[in-house]
């Protein structure tokens, strides 16, 4: 291929309201018979810096307002910025200058530069940005293209091109039947959801599919090329702007009309409209005569507070797309005794700002606390205990919402109940939550529940029992006994709630099949205590229902049941564990629960939903909330719709005191964290073999007023915030608390 040096001026006519793109999750050329072209050989011709942003560049056309190419301050993003309009009907016309000619085969007659553009809003500049080095916050490996607008202070997303192209995946397209040197005029219009393109004053606009602007990785250049046989390289960008009329002021940024609204699990359904301005809900009621920059027609859809995932391991934050796609707008992290930090927690939280898809709640991990003071055994020294309490106290002051335990993991399994009570008192002083992965979910399930209740009672602390289950044959059928204990505790004035994921399998390491005593000195145990070790491993396997319920998902024998591995190796499962897997040998799915127990727990009025994600090989990480809503609520009728709203948002908002922060309700003055879904179609699709399949039915997900899922399409945005427990005033129980509000 030969080089083309092109100069482009884009002129877009954006009409309003023009939002709600209907994009496919696949990247298609839209040009039959054309395939992508190798672009090697093209090189950078433009180098720009952040300082050059918004500085004009001369060009031979009149009326230029702004033209630029700029890096985004990291190692490669380049943005084509178009500007000058200040309103909703901005007209932009593009000129493309090409030098040289393509000797490649015919171009297929496709004549378009295509943008997945949309609503422009009240902005002065718009840019197309490509960031192939995936260095943007939360980006996880693939480049993306986005359309943004500049309001004089910040860049806001408009309708967004679909992201997640591979870093070198070509975009397209600008093409005529024959590419020639000289100026070409290009005009884009957006009408409704469709983008039309004109080139060289052609009479009939082409409805076009997709546009992508790609950057030569690492060189700061910018090029656009077509879907097969043409590649162009732009060294300059100019634009010609027809000033738009003064934009019509809108009543709201977003207006949600015609939905079936549940302001909380205690209210609804109401057929009301919701107006959003900035981050906040600003009106609810009959708003049919109001205007907005984005209208969301929620006809036939349910509108509820954004789902709160009460139990996750999304500790490092980020876009958290798997949660967003489930309708989750807030995640609770730092669970099961593990958290990334126990000191400088506030600094860590600060570092997450601007990188988050959903809102973020952090807990302090008890095992992490122990590690931080060098405690591994049963009894802390006075100094160790005081230091743990000080760390925890400071973390709570920095915004952590409580402490979590992982009492089957190192080294929490060595802790005494007294140690936990003493730490929980610190949590209670801040009105936080004691969230516990209990000491047993199997043989000693009831004793473990009693311990959790006792800790909450003696410390005066609210309790969250994590991923409640009856794990293994020794616990099967005990769900009712568990609930009886929890009911009694709550009736006595304690505050105990729990979360559950809607599956009959768990996932964790294979190490839990080894006795703790052997892990202290594995080599010695294998050599000198082999028979004892075999007996204990066999018992641990049986405690989880047997080797034919243990599906290995990583390590040497991934995607095989432990029983099948044993058969194929001609060994007993315990010998496979000792000789062929060993400590650190991977993870497994444990099909260790009965559906009857799951369904006994689920409707309980103290139980909320938590995914325990992310776990790469368990569908709960991608599908917990849609599965709960579709399979259990709609199809099985496990609870009413309002109860389901309680379980997917309101209970968690109460437990983590989010109502004090104006979150968790659809009410004026509250943050616009909203999930809109189709109750008739919502369902999970992920399986244990394909755990990443995204669910169906989630139509809009709004986090702090930003629409991240827009009519089913993901728009990368990082509007999530780190929430912080700031009040040191212990609050009354959830029921009392609720009554204070209503
Ligand atoms: Zn856990
Ligand atoms: Zn967990």
Indicate the pairing of strand 364-365 with strand 359-362: unpaired
Distance 306 CA to ligand 2 centre (A): 21
For the cut 50, the answer to whether the pLDDT of residue 80 exceeds it is no
pLDDT band at residue 96 under the 50/70/90 scheme: very low
Distance 259 CA to ligand 1 centre (A): 37
| 85 HSE (CA, 13 A, CB side) | 30
The DSSP element (H or E) to which 535 belongs, if any, is helix 530-543
Q: Which ligand is nearest to the CA of 610?
A: 2
Q: What is the pLDDT of residue 706?
A: 95
Higher pLDDT, 403 or 149: 403
Indicate the pairing of strand 359-362 with strand 328-333: parallel
User: Which one, of 41, 23, 248, lies nearest residue 118 by Cα?
Assistant: 23
Average pLDDT over the chain, rounded to an integer: 72
Q: Determine the angle formed by the axes of helices 417-429 and 382-397, rounding to 10 degrees.
A: 30
Q: What is the pLDDT of residue 437?
A: 97
Distance 640 CA to ligand 2 centre (A): 27
b/e per residue, 139-170, with b = 16+ CB within 10 A? beeebbbbbbbbeeeebbbbbbbbbbbebeeb
For the cut 60, the answer to whether the pLDDT of residue 205 exceeds it is no
Residues 6+ apart with CB under 8 A from 583: 511, 514, 519, 522
Rounded Cα distance, 260 and 273, in Å: 9
Higher pLDDT, 17 or 435: 435
Distances (CA, A) of 78 to 147, 199, 203, 220, 449: 12, 24, 32, 6, 55
What's the DSSP call for residue 510? G
pLDDT band at residue 34 under the 50/70/90 scheme: very low
Most confidently modeled range among 75-79, 122-126, 194-198, 469-473: 469-473
Mean of the pLDDT values across residues 287-298? 94
Could you count the other beta carbons within 10 Å of the beta carbon of residue 474? Answer: 17
User: Which one, of 206, 217, 216, lies nearest residue 225 by Cα?
Assistant: 216
What's the DSSP call for residue 244? P
SS3 call for 233: strand
Q: What is the pLDDT of residue 555?
A: 86
Per-position DSSP letters for 581-613, written without gaps between them? I-TT--EEEE----HHHHHHHTT-TTEEE---B
For the cut 70, the answer to whether the pLDDT of residue 232 exceeds it is no
Q: What is the pLDDT of residue 615?
A: 62
Choice among 27-36, 249-258, 430-439 with the minimum mean pLDDT = 27-36
Q: Which ligand is nearest to the CA of 613?
A: 2
For the cut 50, the answer to whether the pLDDT of residue 448 exceeds it is yes
Distance 466 CA to ligand 2 centre (A): 7
Choice among 27-36, 623-632, 654-663 with the minimum mean pLDDT = 27-36
Q: What is the pLDDT of residue 41?
A: 21
pLDDT, one tens digit per residue, over 257-282 is 999 999 999 999 999 999 999 999 99
Rounded Cα distance, 67 and 93, in Å: 12
**What phi and psi, each to the nearest 5 degrees, are found at residue 496?**
-125, 125
Could you count the other beta carbons within 10 Å of the beta carbon of residue 350? Answer: 13
Which option is the CATH number for 307-501+593-671+699-741: 1.10.760.10, 2.60.40.420, 3.20.20.140, 3.40.50.620? 3.20.20.140
Paired tokens of 235: 């060294």
For the cut 70, the answer to whether the pLDDT of residue 30 exceeds it is no
CA angle, residues 354, 355, 358, in degrees to nearest 5 = 100
The DSSP element (H or E) to which 342 belongs, if any, is none
Rounded Cα distance, 202 and 310, in Å: 56
pLDDT, one tens digit per residue, over 539-562 is 999 999 999 999 998 888 988 999
Q: What is the pLDDT of residue 688?
A: 87
Choice among 67-81, 356-370, 384-398, 588-602 with the minimum mean pLDDT = 67-81
Question: How far is the first Cα of the chain from the last one, in angstroms, to the nearest whole number?
Answer: 69
b/e per residue, 33-48, with b = 16+ CB within 10 A? ebebbeeeebebbbeb
Paired tokens of 708: 């991240």
Choice among 53-57, 291-295, 423-427 with the minimum mean pLDDT = 53-57
Q: What is the pLDDT of residue 546?
A: 96
The phi-psi region of residue 382 (left if phi > 0; otherwise alpha if psi is between -120 and 50; otherwise beta) is: alpha
Choice among 26-35, 133-142, 157-166, 469-478 with the minimum mean pLDDT = 26-35
The answer to whether 354 and 137 are in contact (CB under 8 A) is yes
Q: What is the pLDDT of residue 248?
A: 64
Burial class (CB in 10 A: 0-12, 13-18, 19+), 341: buried
Distance 521 CA to ligand 1 centre (A): 25
- 200-203 contacts, C-beta under 8 A, 24 or more apart: 200/176, 202/111
Mean of the pLDDT values across residues 340-369? 95
Q: Determine the angle formed by the axes of helices 479-491 and 445-459, rounding to 10 degrees.
A: 10
Distance 313 CA to ligand 1 centre (A): 9
Distance 406 CA to ligand 1 centre (A): 6
For the cut 80, the answer to whether the pLDDT of residue 611 exceeds it is yes
Q: Which residues surround ligand 2, an ion (CB under 5 A)?
A: 335-336, 612
What's the pTM value of the predicted model, to 2 decimals? 0.69
Strand order in the sheet with 155-157: 67-71, 78-83, 125-130, 145-150, 155-157
Residues forming CATH 3.20.20.140 domain(s) in the chain: 307-501+593-671+699-741
Q: Which ligand is nearest to the CA of 313?
A: 2
Distance 611 CA to ligand 1 centre (A): 11
pLDDT band at residue 2 under the 50/70/90 scheme: very low
Paired tokens of 604: 């309980």
Distance 610 CA to ligand 1 centre (A): 11
Paired tokens of 329: 């707008």
Paired tokens of 20: 């709600």
The answer to whether 334 and 384 are in contact (CB under 8 A) is no
Q: What is the pLDDT of residue 616?
A: 65
For the cut 90, the answer to whether the pLDDT of residue 284 exceeds it is yes
User: Which one, of 370, 364, 314, lies nearest residue 342 by Cα?
Assistant: 364
Q: What is the pLDDT of residue 113?
A: 23
Distance 439 CA to ligand 1 centre (A): 10
Could you count the other beta carbons within 10 Å of the beta carbon of residue 26? Answer: 7
Distance 336 CA to ligand 1 centre (A): 4
Distance 163 CA to ligand 2 centre (A): 30
Higher pLDDT, 192 or 538: 538
Q: Which ligand is nearest to the CA of 335?
A: 2
The answer to whether 673 and 357 are in contact (CB under 8 A) is no
For the cut 60, the answer to whether the pLDDT of residue 73 exceeds it is no
Percentage of the chain lying above the pLDDT 70 cut: 64
Q: What is the pLDDT of residue 727?
A: 61
Q: Which ligand is nearest to the CA of 512?
A: 1
């Amino acid at each position: 291929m030969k080089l083309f040096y092109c100069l482009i001026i884009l002129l877009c006519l954006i009409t309003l309201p023009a939002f709600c793109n209907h994009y496919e999750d696949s990247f298609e050329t839209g040009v039959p018979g054309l395939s992508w072209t190798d672009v090697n050989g093209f090189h950078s011709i433009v180098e720009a810096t952040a300082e050059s942003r918004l500085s004009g560049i001369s060009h031979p056309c009149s009326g230029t307002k702004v033209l630029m190419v700029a890096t985004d301050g990291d190692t490669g993003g380049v943005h084509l910025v178009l500007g000058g309009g200040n309103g909703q009907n901005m007209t932009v016309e593009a000129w493309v200058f090409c030098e040289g000619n393509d000797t490649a085969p015919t171009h297929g007659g496709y004549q378009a530069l295509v943008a997945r553009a949309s609503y422009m809003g009240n902005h002065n500049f718009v840019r197309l940005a490509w960031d192939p080095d995936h260095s943007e916050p939360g980006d996880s490996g693939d480049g993306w293209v986005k359309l943004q607008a500049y309001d004089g202070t910040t860049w806001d997303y408009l309708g967004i091109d679909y992201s997640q192209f591979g870093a070198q995946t070509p975009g397209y397209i600008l093409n005529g039947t024959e590419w020639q040197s000289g100026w070409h005029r290009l005009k884009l219009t957006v009408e409704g959801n469709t983008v039309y393109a004109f080139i060289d004053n052609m009479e009939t606009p082409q409805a076009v599919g997709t546009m992508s602007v790609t950057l030569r990785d690492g060189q700061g250049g910018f090029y656009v090329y077509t879907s097969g046989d043409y590649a162009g390289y732009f060294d300059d960008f100019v634009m010609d702007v027809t000033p738009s009329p003064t934009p019509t002021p809108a009543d709201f940024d977003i207006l949600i009309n015609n939905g079936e609204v549940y302001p909380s699990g205690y209210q609804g359904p109401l057929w009301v409209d919701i107006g959003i301005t900035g981050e906040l809900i600003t009106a609810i009621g009959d708003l049919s005569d109001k205007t907005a920059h984005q209208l969301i027609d929620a006809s036939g859809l349910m509108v509820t507070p954004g789902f709160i995932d009460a139990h996750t391991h999304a500790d490092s934050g980020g876009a958290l797309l798997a949660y967003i796609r489930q309708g989750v707008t807030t995640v609770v992290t730092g669970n099961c005794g593990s958290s990334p930090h126990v000191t400088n927690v506030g600094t860590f939280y600060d570092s997450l700002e601007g990188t988050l898809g959903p809102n973020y709640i952090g807990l302090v991990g008890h095992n992490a606390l122990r590690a931080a003071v060098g405690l591994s055994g049963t009894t802390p020294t006075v100094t160790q205990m005081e230091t743990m309490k000080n760390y925890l106290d400071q973390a709570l002051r920095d915004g952590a919402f409580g402490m979590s335990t992982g009492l089957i993991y190192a080294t929490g399994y060595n802790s005494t109940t007294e140690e936990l009570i003493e730490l929980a008192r610190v949590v209670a002083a801040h009105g936080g939550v004691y969230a516990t992965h209990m000491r047993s979910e199997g043989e000693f399930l009831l004793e473990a529940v009693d311990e959790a209740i006792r800790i909450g009672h003696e410390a005066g602390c609210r309790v969250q029992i994590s991923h409640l289950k009856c794990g293994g044959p020794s616990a099967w059928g005990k769900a009712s006994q568990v609930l009886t204990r929890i009911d009694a505790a709550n009736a006595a004035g304690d505050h105990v709630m729990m979360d559950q994921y809607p599956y009959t399998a768990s996932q964790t390491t294979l190490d839990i099949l080894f006795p703790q005593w052997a892990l202290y000195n594995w080599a010695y145990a294998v050599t000198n205590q082999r028979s004892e070790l075999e007996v204990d491993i066999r018992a641990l396997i049986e405690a989880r229902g047997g080797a034919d319920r243990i599906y290995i998902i990583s390590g040497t024998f991934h995607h095989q049941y432990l029983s099948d591995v044993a058969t194929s190796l001609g060994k007993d499962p315990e010998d496979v564990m000792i000789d062929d897997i060993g400590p650190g040998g991977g993870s497994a799915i444990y099909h260790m629960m009965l559906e009857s127990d799951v369904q006994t727990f689920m409707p309980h009025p103290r139980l909320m939903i938590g995914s325990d994600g992310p776990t790469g090989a368990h569908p709960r990480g991608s599908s917990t909330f849609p599965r709960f809503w579709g399979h259990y609520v709609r199809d099985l009728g496990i609870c009413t719709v309002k109860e389901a709203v309680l379980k997917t948002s309101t209970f968690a908002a109460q437990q983590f005191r989010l109502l004090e922060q104006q979150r968790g309700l659809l009410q004026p003055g509250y943050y616009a964290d909203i999930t809109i879904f189709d109750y008739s179609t919502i369902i999970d699709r992920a399986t244990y073999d394909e755990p990443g399949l995204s669910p169906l039915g989630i139509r809009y997900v709004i986090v702090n007023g930003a629409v991240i899922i827009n009519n089913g399409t993901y728009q990368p945005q990082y509007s999530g915030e780190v929430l912080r427990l700031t009040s040191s005033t212990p609050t009354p129980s959830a029921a009392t608390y609720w009554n204070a509000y209503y």
